Structure 1
């Protein structure tokens, strides 16, 4: 019979037997490589996206090196001309005027978008819950409006006879704006397009920057405030360095958005009056459709892609340099 000490001693459980080698190998295979099935499942989507994105780009590159006009579009007997289309564009003074106007349009829009969006984000951060919800809801609704619908609304706002802008200015005593043709003057049309693009872009930038501001620790701002720093110094030395990656990301996206702003210009002015609102995407479409020079239009599109890629390369170099400094 077991003694009292043996009855009170805790019993140790036997160690489990090692799993067979075949089971361990199967389990390792199950948790490791799972075979080609995941790749086969996503293959149709990847191939479809590659066809929709890469084929038009490759086709445009090919046409830019060909003599491709209306006759070649119908008969399909286009022949290669090398860099002749690019030489024709790069030696055209009108093309360089359009390039300068494109960068001016992009710079004005991006500066206004980033400044206004940052101010809206800072204001939203300091509002109460109810007002913050109203502001964010308004931003989302403005952001969700289709581009063509918003452009049509702006056309009616600045209509020479029925527009509310002319009616308001005339009611305030500015009788020179009675039936003022806004879209017949190049500077006025340019300013209206800038206002439209900024109005459409600020909601996304403001919501993104507000989300970044919510991640800034309040303790750092309070410490800077106790050290005597003012609101602007806190923003410059504490807040902006912490949200710099998000600011650079929004800046990059807005550069792309304004650089390829085509729909707003085409619906509202089609690049007019004259060439006052013509930027590179509009110039490419005008060349391809109006002159039926699809080769020059494709070459202009490729130059646009190269210029935009150069801006993105500068952004990525700056981003990687910041990561290396960390």
Structure 2
């Protein structure tokens, strides 16, 4: 018995499918997102941003071009003086001294926070479950404490007559520290402020860095060990490349948070002694509210924002350059895999 070969359908015609066999799935319509719904969903967030961020910024910018003191405020008189507040501020030696102090203060604290936070995060990855839980609870409590409450605790710890720190140092044999005034000099005051900032900022870096270490596969460490890599070589070749993106983001955020830190500095000693520990936010507050030069204070705050944006622009350029390099490496690897 001969079997007749099945003829191919003519070109351009689709063969009729047999009954009962599943056909190709219908084409899925993609949502283009060109409707108004996404924008409507964003409206509440945009409205809140405009009210609580945009309006104060615009108002502050307008005040910076006015001669606004207590007299004008009581009489409800608006005296526009152009860029006089800016020229007076930029020509002031005090402003540039405070700016340099703020930059150095920010740089020192960011370096200490990133280094200490990294060490604690790596320690969390190596501890046992019970010790890790205990350390995490302590970090969360330090992070969750309100700033003013933490400042009060530090004022009590470093009090001149009844402070715990002076008592401990005197018990250890440092009799000269029994009545030491920690807010009496610029350096010691900055030490207390920096210790407070580091204490409240390290938990964020440590906890998030520990979470980042949990994403690293153990096989990579085993492969590095087989290649003869020690602890430091494993950290450089395996751990650090995974943690580098997080460290860049953490550094970016810490620079912003510390540069604009106000309650830490003001609550400890109100920028003293002799205004030697004032940073730019405290300097703007003292000039604007304390000395009732509201226009000058507004101009200083605007310049503070511009300085922070200038610092961040350089760092953002580095982050974007790193992301572009990573994307280029990923595309080359994908091309090599397809080849």
What interval of TM-score do these two structures reach, taking the shorter chain for normalisation? 0.7 to 0.9
Alpha-carbon distance between aligned partners in 1 of 2:187 and 2:256, rounded to the nearest angstrom: 23
Q: Counterpart of 1:243 in 2: which secondary structure?
A: helix
Output the CA distance in 2 between the equivalents of 1:319 and 1:184.
Answer: 41
SS of the residue corresponding to residue 206 of structure 2 reads helix
Decide which moves more: 68-77 or 108-117: 68-77
| Residues 305-325 of structure 1: per-residue CA shift (max 9 Å, x gap) | 111111221122111111222
Q: Which moved more, 1:66-75 or 1:245-254?
A: 66-75
C-alpha separation between the residues in 1 aligned to 2:37 and 2:252?
37
1:79 is displaced (CA, Å) by 2.8
Q: Deviations over 1:214-238 (max 9, x none)?
A: 1122222222222222212222232
Per the alignment, residue 202 of structure 1 pairs with 202
Alignment of 1:190-269 (within 5 A): 190-269=190-269
* Separation in structure 2 between the aligned mates of residue 304 and residue 132 of structure 1, nearest angstrom: 40
Establish whether residue 12 from structure 1 lines up as the match of residue 19 from structure 2.
Answer: yes
What residue in structure 2 maps to residue 52 of structure 1?
Answer: 52
Moved more, 197-206 or 221-230: 221-230
Distance in 1 separating the partners of 2:295 and 2:263: 22
For the 8 Å contact 1:69–1:292, the answer to whether it is kept is yes
**1:73 CA displacement:** 2.1
8 Å CA contact retained: 1:216, 1:242:
yes
Matches within 5 A, 1:65-84: 65-84=65-84
Pairs within 5 Å for 1:150-165: 150-165=150-165
Q: Secondary structure at the match of 1:183?
A: coil
Displacement of 1:194 after TM fit? 0.6
User: What CA deviation, in whole Å up to 9, does each residue of 1:248-299 have, x standing for no partner?
Assistant: 0000111111101100111111000012211000000000122211111111
Please say if residues 69 and 293 of structure 1, whose CA atoms lie closer than 8 Å, have aligned partners that are also in contact: yes
**Count of residue correspondences:** 307
What is the distance in 1 between the residues matched to 2:149 and 2:52? 26
Moved more, 165-174 or 108-117: 165-174
- 8 A Cα contact 1:187 1:276, kept in partner: no
Q: How has the CA–CA distance of structure 1 residues 196 and 89 changed in structure 2, closer, same or farther, with 3 Å as cutoff? A: same
Aligned to 2:145: 145
1:84-120 CA-partner distances (Å, limit 9, x unpaired) = 1111111111111111110111011001000000000
Which shows bigger deviation, 240-249 or 198-207?
Answer: 240-249
Is residue 190–residue 276 contact of structure 1 (8 Å, CA) maintained in 2?
A: no
Partner of 2:9: none
Q: Secondary structure of the residue that 2:183 maps to in structure 1? A: helix
**71-80 vs 242-251, which deviates more?**
71-80
Deviation at 1:69, TM superposition (A): 1.5
Greater percentage in helix: 1
Structure 1 counterpart of 2:10:
none
Bigger shift: residues 212-221 or 299-308: 212-221
Distance 1:80 1:172, change over 3 A: same
For each residue in 1:189-235, what CA deviation from the matched residue of structure 2 results, as whole angstroms up to 9, or x when unmatched?
11111111000000011111111111122222222222222212222
The equivalent of 2:273 in structure 1 is: 273
- Over the aligned positions, Cα root-mean-square deviation in angstroms equals 2.2
Task: Report how far residue 77 of structure 1 moved.
Answer: 2.4
Mark the CA change 1:224 to 1:160 in structure 2 (over 3 Å): closer, same or farther: same
C-alpha contact (below 8 Å) 1:61/1:299 kept by paired residues? yes
Alpha-carbon displacement from aligned partner over 1:9-57 (angstroms, at most 9, x marks no partner): xx934999xx9xxxx9xx979x666964564465344313311110001
TM-score for the superposition, normalised by structure 2 = 0.84
**Alignment partner, residue 180 of structure 1:** 180
| Equivalent residue, structure 2, for 1:119 | 119
Unaligned runs of 5+ in 2: 1-17, 327-339
Over 3 Å counting, the alpha-carbon distance change for 1:38 and 1:324 in structure 2 is closer
Which whole-Å CA distance do the structure 2 matches of 1:110 and 1:246 have between them? Answer: 14
